[in-house]
Amino acid sequence: MSQIVEVSDATFEREVLQADKPVLVDFWAEWCGPCKMIAPYLEQIAAEKGDRIKVVKVNIDENPMTPTKYGVRGIPTLMIFAGGELKATKVGAMPKTKLDQWVEETLAEAA
């Protein structure tokens, strides 16, 4: 079972851009209600699809450089990176079924 990894500005390149498989990045903050709402869904995706995708979280309050670099304006913002490149972005909370569908479609396109 894969765990969600906390990523910082300092570790983003190594953990995300240099990862050997696609990475789902959750840009979030402690005060964000919708972020807390989707957190269990992200944990389920990490557990169910951990062999195919890595799930990481970036706290935007503690790590302002990375969200600024990728134009994060609202949270939660979810981005999928593969091969060091941004492949897809979703902003806002969504039901787990929609999240699953988006992840699967992006993985299929990135393959």
Confidence category of residue 1, pLDDT binned at 50, 70, 90: low
Considering the candidates 4, 16, 25, 35, report the single residue annotated as catalytic: 35
CATH no. for 5-110: 3.40.30.10
Q: Each residue of 38-60: pLDDT tens digit?
A: 999 999 999 999 999 999 999 99
DSSP string, 21-89: S-EEEEEE-TT-HHHHHHHHHHHHHHHHHTTT-EEEEEETTT--HHHHHTT--SSSEEEEEETTEEEEE
What residue ranges do the domains of the chain occupy?
5-110
Give one word for 26, left, alpha or beta, with left for phi > 0 and alpha for psi -120 to 50.
beta
Considering the candidates 23, 32, 72, 93, report the single residue annotated as catalytic: 32
35 assigned to active site: yes
32 assigned to active site: yes
